[in-house]
Amino acid sequence: MCGIVGLFLKDKSLEPELGRLLTDMLVTMTDRGPDSAGIAIYGSEDDAQTKLTVQSDDADADFATLGDDLGRVIDAPVTLRRKDTHAVLSLSADKAGQARQALRELRPGVRVMSLGETMEIYKEVGLPKDVAARFDVSGMQGSHGIGHTRMATESAVTTMGAHPFSTGSDQCLVHNGSLSNHNSWRRKLTREGVHVETMNDTEVGAAYLTWKMQNGSSLGEALESSLEDLDGFFTFVVGTKDGFGVVRDPIACKPAVMAETDQYVAFGSEYRALVNLPGIDAARVWEPEPATVYFWNH
Amino acid sequence: MQTIDLEAQGLRALNATLQAQKDASNQTAWEIVNARGSHAIAVGLDAPIEVTVNGSTGYYCAGMNKQATVHVKGSAGPGLAENMMSGTVIVEGDASQYAGATGRGGLLVIKGNASSRCGISMKGIDIVVHGNIGHMSAFMAQSGNLVVCGDAGDALGDSLYEARLFVRGSVKSLGADCEEKEMRPEHLEILTDLLERSGSDAKPEEFRRYGSARQLYNFDVDNAAAY
Cα distance between residue A290 and residue A269, in whole Å: 14
pLDDT at A46: 75
pLDDT at A32: 97
Tell me the domain boundaries of chain B. 2-215
pLDDT tens by residue, A151-198: 998 889 999 999 999 988 999 999 999 999 999 999 999 999 988 888
Cα distance between residue B183 and residue B203, in whole Å: 13
Which residue in A has a C-alpha nearest to residue B115's C-alpha?
A287
Local confidence band at A1 (pLDDT 50, 70, 90 cut-offs): confident
Mean pLDDT of chain A: 95
Q: What proportion of chain A, given as a percentage, has pLDDT over 70? A: 100
Tell me the domain boundaries of chain A. 3-44+129-297, 45-117
Cα distance between residue A72 and residue A77, in whole Å: 8
**Could you say which of B57, B93, B96 has the minimum Cβ distance to residue A255?**
B96
Q: Is the pLDDT of residue B24 over 80?
A: no
B102 at interface of A, judged by CB pairs closer than 8 A: no
Which CATH number applies to A3-44+129-297?
Answer: 3.60.20.10
Local confidence band at B62 (pLDDT 50, 70, 90 cut-offs): very high
- Lowest mean pLDDT of A113-117, A204-208, A219-223, name the range: A219-223
pLDDT at B88: 98
Local confidence band at A142 (pLDDT 50, 70, 90 cut-offs): very high
Active site residue A172: no
pLDDT at B61: 98
pLDDT tens by residue, A26-36: 999 999 999 99
Size of interface A-B (CB pairs under 8 A): 45
Cα distance between residue B190 and residue B91, in whole Å: 21
Question: Cβ–Cβ of A270/B37 closer than 8 Å?
Answer: yes
**What is the DSSP-derived secondary structure letter of residue B164?**
E
pLDDT tens by residue, B157-191: 999 999 999 999 999 999 999 999 999 999 999 99
Q: Give the 3-state secondary structure percentages of chain B, helix then strand then coil, rounded to 5.
A: 15, 25, 55
A1 at interface of B, judged by CB pairs closer than 8 A: no
Local confidence band at B223 (pLDDT 50, 70, 90 cut-offs): confident
pTM: predicted TM-score of the whole model, two decimal places: 0.94
**H or E element, residue A146:** strand A144-150
Query: Homologous superfamily of A45-117 in CATH?
Result: VC0802-like (3.30.2130.10)
ipTM for this model? 0.92
Please state the separation of Cα A85 from the chain's center in Å: 17
Residues on chain B touching A271 (C-beta within 8 angstroms): 37, 56-58, 75, 77
Cα angle value B171/B214/B107 (rounded, 5°): 60
Query: Homologous superfamily of B2-215 in CATH?
Result: Glutamate synthase, alpha subunit, C-terminal domain (2.160.20.60)
pLDDT tens by residue, A36-73: 999 999 998 777 799 999 999 999 999 999 999 999 99
Cα distance between residue B88 and residue B100, in whole Å: 11
